[in-house]
Amino acid sequence: MSASEASTVTVSARHFDGRSARAHRVCLRFSATGVVVESEAGEWRLPAGEFSVSEVLGATPRSLTLADGQSFEVSDVAALARGLRLLGRREAAVTRWQQSWRGVGAALAATVLLVLVAYQWGLPALSRGLAAAAPAAVSEHLAQQTLAFLDRGMTRPSRLPEARQAALRAKAQQWFPPAAGGPAWQLQFRASALGPNALALPNGEIVLFDALVELAEGDEQVLAVVAHELGHVAARHGLRQLIQSSLVGFIAGAYLGDLSSLVSGLAAALLEAGYSRDFEREADAYAVARLRALGQPPQLLAGMLQRLEAAHAAAAGEAAEEAASDRQTGWGGLASHPETAERIARILADR
């Protein structure tokens, strides 16, 4: 390369005069003093500081645009970059990063890290704050909608005798009186083909399925389950999980451009989302603390978990092996609980 070639860079371009869509073939000759436009009509100078340059976007042609609307479209972006360097024009930092694999990799890694941090800590913190600030009417409305959804097909009126239900309510009130500083709550009973199960609604209603009551070795084990569900109520896990799921759905919907199903799916999301493993551990710890405060052994909860696991394994029948590989449930299919064995070990270790 000669000294003359090193001091100039010439690139082909398409010139648009700003008044019509017709393109004119020209050449742009870059030097340290400016840009000369070479066209069929002659040459004219393009002062270095009187045009803007579009950002780099892969191999997409870049444009040089003048204040009066004229523009030059350049396909050889590498030659254009050399010409701009001759002019002493540095690309913006973002543009330089886009042209660097290291810059792109660092930006991608930073984005992934930011998303992970937001999901791991930011989203739970935000949902905790929003759940705490939510009016009681919101929790009541969501709970009633959820219960109505259950009663439309998943549950039926309880088969337990009224006297049996009343006795359990009375014992639960004796063990966990709301006036003792715990959350307000009340027991509901339902029959369901889902088997032994229980769930806590955002307004404090705790739904016990008949099969769970029948499975328990005694009322104390039923009350241990109530203590666990009270942990969900006290920490507002249901509302927090709903908020988290909704926020994730909103962000995904905004990114994908589809928000149509967000609002209509709120009630179903409460059921489908399931409690996180952390929520289950928190509820277990809450239950153990409440049981211990009553002088009751945590083994009540651990024993109920063992009975539930055995019941679910038996119900799986021929699919028991598959069920064992996916044995994550505590009360049943409505929740995504940690491994039951892990929970039992944690409960028994918390002496």
Across 58-80, average pLDDT: 89
- Cβ-Cβ contacts under 8 Å for 12 (sequence gap 6 or more): 25, 26, 27, 28, 74, 75, 76
Residue whose tokens read 């930073």:
110
**Which is more confidently placed, 46 or 61?**
61
Strand pairing category for 51-53 and 156-157: unpaired
Q: Tell me, what's the pLDDT at 268?
A: 47
The pair of structure tokens assigned to 307 is: 């009975």
- Whether the CB-CB separation of 74 and 12 falls below 8 Å is answered with yes
Across 32-37, average pLDDT: 89
- Cβ-Cβ contacts under 8 Å for 212 (sequence gap 6 or more): 196, 197, 198, 222, 225, 308, 331
Torsion of CA 79, 82, 88, 92, to 10 degrees: 80
Quick one: which of 59, 41, 60, 55 has its CA closest to 84?
55
pLDDT of 52 higher than 50: yes
Quick one: which of 48, 34, 33, 39 has its CA closest to 17?
39
pLDDT of 37 higher than 70: yes
**Which is more confidently placed, 55 or 29?**
29
Mean pLDDT comparison of 84-98, 130-144, 215-229, highest-scoring range: 215-229
The length of the chain in residues reads 351
pLDDT of 154 higher than 70: yes
Q: Give the integer Cα–Cα distance in Å for 98 and 101.
A: 8
pLDDT of 264 higher than 50: no
> Residues 132-143: pLDDT tens digits?
888 888 888 988
Mean pLDDT of the chain: 83
**For 132-146, 175-189, 255-269, 278-292, which range has the lowest pLDDT when averaged over its residues?**
255-269
Q: Give the integer Cα–Cα distance in Å for 51 and 67.
A: 7
- pLDDT-derived band at 335 (thresholds 50, 70, 90) equals very low
Across 88-95, average pLDDT: 77
Q: What pTM was computed for the model?
A: 0.65
> Residues 231-251: pLDDT tens digits?
999 999 888 888 887 777 777
